[in-house]
Structure 1
Amino acid sequence: MLTRILLLLIVLCLPVPGAYAEQTSGRDLRVIVVGGNSNYPPYQFLDKSGQPAGYIVDLTRAIARVMGLQVEIRLGDFGKILKELDRGDIDILEGLSYSEARAKEYDFSTPHSIIVQAIFARKGTPAVKSLEELKGKKVLVHRGGGMHGYLQERHYDPDLVLTDSPRETLQQLAAGQCDYAVVALLPAMYIIREEKLTNLVPVATNVAPQRYYCYAVKKGNAELVAQMNEGLSILKKTGEFNQIYDKWIGVLEPQRTSWVTVAKYAALVVIPLSLILAATVFWSYSLRRQVAQRTESLSNALAELQRNQQQLVQADKMAALGILVSGVAHEINNPTGIILMNMPTLKKIFRDAERILDRYQEEEGEFTLGGIRYQRVRQEVPLILDEMQDGAQRIKKTVEDLKNFARKDDEARKELLDFNHVVQTAVRLVDVATRKSTNNFSASYADGLPQVFGNEQRLEQVVVNLVMNAGQALPDPTRAIALQTSYDAATGRVMLTVRDEGTGISPEHLKHLTDPFFTTKRESGGTGLGLSISANIIKDHGGEISFDSSLGKGTTVTLALPAAVAGSEHGQ
């Protein structure tokens, strides 16, 4: 026994290799090492003095301050930084695009940015509207970036010309190396301004699914992610988040040409010779045209960024809704499942008990159960059991509808759908709100409706929005809402009409209903995004949405989707 104890003490005194490496690495365990990309302005980059700077860098420092954390920000080549995170040399990345594949290896915070991809070209180059039109053309793209992987998955490899950074991508495009480049919109606009690449313009935006930019840690470091989320929440509530955003994003607001500058140049070129005067007028006209084009490009980029910021807030809310629905659904489904499982047994027990109770009544006469006469119990208990079973099934169906509606679907997969089923699911989701708005709701579903090709959750979102808008337009519950599906064989389209007897929409507002952020309900919390998003969803499905309204009489919304054609993948 004594020998065993001595051996155990010797083993405990031996140095542990991993612990020694931790101590001798020279790293302060109280400092959180934050990694990032050194060449991705304005999010994160090294300034002229070699110090970390940018939108996310300032955001990280602000979170560290409000959460009482000590951080060391380390920026470098993104590929090397990612490997350091995997090795454990750094604790967290400032910016990593979320994807389902990456979510298997890393834990992500709530998004702090949205990355929008765009196609850039030199002025005068034939415009393109989508990535599909780039096939067969040489395209510049940043090696290892999000769009590099995205284009590789879609077999663009033979057409790609790889660079080491977004800055190099735009510099080569400006120098005429290729005709087109695919770059994140905001970094590209920042680099174009800083490098004075005035011959470059964005020719198409939102050409790929939006990528959510988050803090990321290796799987299992949930505590650090929670601290970053809490810090982001505090900054948003105090307004400091918006101040940091405006500091870096606000610099892209278009700058107007000073009239003093224009007058100065005019005075310098005005000379007696009419020929020189004519040449000067022509030059001035050309200069103004270039300024107008640049201003329009920057204005469009700024509007796109503001719209994406609003969608980021909504995406955060929907992510929270998905988590809540999933948790609540689990708690509701368990007792509902017990009810549905036990109800057939209760029905059998009551049927068997009926014979015994009938004999008892014949022998003893009328009696009561629970204060109710037996004859009434015999009539009503089977009905009560059926109602309980039907109610439990309705609860289960409603929970499933909510889970499907809140389910995250980043890739927006499309498939053949029964449009009547889509509309009926949406109607069930808003049933409570509809009954509060009107006592006169009707729905008519056409028989034999052709299938449509689309994404179920997104089409449900559109129908929910239309029915909710109709209910909000009613001045009192006596007014009606009527919903109807149909098929127009002449145009090959599946139709949905939603009619309300509400207050109607004035003619000057009617043409702006699908404009982003336009709303007539601002005082009641309207954002103006519902119909804009719905219109974009229907357009993405190859359909149309139209409005007809009269003040005081109501509004009719007509939604048309192409019916799926046999043998066609896209149903068009």
Structure 2
Amino acid sequence: MSIKINAMPSIYQSFLLFIGLCTASITLADAPIHVGGDLNYPPYEFINENGKPDGYNTELTRAIAEVMGIEVDIQLGSWDDIRSRLEQGKLDVLQGMAYSTGRTDNYNFSPPHALVHQSIFARKGTAKVSDLNELTGKELIVQRGGVMHDFFLHSDIKAKLILVDTHSAALRLLSSGKYDYALVANLPGLYLGKELALSNIIPVGRPFGAKQYGYAVMKGNRDLLAQFSEGLAILKNTGRQQEIYDKWLGPLEQDGFPWKKIGLITGSISGILLVILGGIVIWNRMLTREVSRRTNELKQQQKQLMQADKMASLGILVSGVAHEINNPSSLLLLNLPVIQEFYDDAEDILEAHYQEHGDFYIAGLEYSRMRDEIPSMLQDMLIGTQKIRRIVNDLKDFARETPDNWKEQIDLNETLEVAIRLVDKTIRQSCDQFNVEYTRPLPSFYGSAQKIEQVIINLIVNACQALESSNQAINIRTFLKDENHLCLEVWDQGKGIEPHNINRLCDPFFTTRREDGGTGLGLSISSKIVQEHGGSLVYESIPKHGTKAILTFSVA
């Protein structure tokens, strides 16, 4: 009896212990993950005007929490304090930390979600710094606990470090006339300099020390890090991380259109292609006796599959190219106006020196020659950078998928009138005979009027560029093909298109005007827009006699 009496409480106690452990694990699972970041590190992370965490890192963290089904508590503070709280276990993860080999002794890092450069800022008039060794013996303002603080602690460069809590404190201190240089992250430094109107400080060297920038946890906490790494991978594959990146870190002038889920679409297309290809193989084996009758159809299917696969691969290429070009484009668009302003301010001083002392050399050339050429050189660089931006935007337009659930009814005549107004100058410069014939009334169709304007503009501009003299004409007309279809026809009397090129007009990057700056994206983008609207765009051409483009849509 004594054995039974003692056994029952033991079983009961074990059961209670099991329930307690389950309850504790549920409670732990529901507890939020405490995420830390810098309170003044725009555009990556900062406290906004409403007193809330904001910025690229913050929005990315919330998106990861959403896709992974976890709860996060984002806390921003001074960087040194945030690192201390992570080391004390009061925070679980940092949402943005620059990777370095020295830091791997204490931290584990996720794959990077950005690339961060450093810059040397100084007051105007300070000599340019081309090598960090030139900072020996100088007074340098750096962020306490930041990557530059870590670097100088382990560097042979003997400089006096002035430690501050934030990048803004470093730039304000430098602007007030104290110390020699401030070493801060490049984009945050440029943003803060403009926001705080610190017009007397500028970068005095090219950006350096590119660092991979991502999530970080204390050494050994790999399970938590894996959640954020997996969430980041999902966002990258669906295109959402690119969308957030473009919002906060893209070029200064954005077209406002979000990137779509290119990775997900590519995977879906690849799966469909595999199914179709497998079906074709089985179909061929089963219907051997009908091979001759089906040859032409199968060839056409194979062409479509190859084109679809090429377009899917090109979408991935476009995403990567646009992402990589955005970083240097941002730097150029930010820095070239500063250089122009610097030269404008220095021009009076240089001219006074020239008047007083005569001609002198700059960069190995006479000042009397350079003073006339430098402004145009700077302007040419800015124009070239803006052209890069436009090409990137065209690439984005090409890669973007447009939603199918349009609700807008389009009047083709009105859309044509708007397009003609937008390219009126190009038309007047290209030809003396521009004729438009409207069929009224014309039924409407569903879609995006803005997108159809883009297609019509491309067709008109291409027609203008095809003309070999202003005496040749361009004729445009709208008409009903039948009761279910309406058409727009653009016919030019230009040089026409060779037969072997007619089927390549909609191929990305194909152009016969490469030497004139053509990118070969206009008609490929137009073709994609027309397909998304359920329409068709076909070309008829006779070399030396002109080209006719026929745009067809289904009546709403």
- For Structure 1 versus Structure 2, the TM-score category normalised by the shorter chain is 0.3 to 0.5
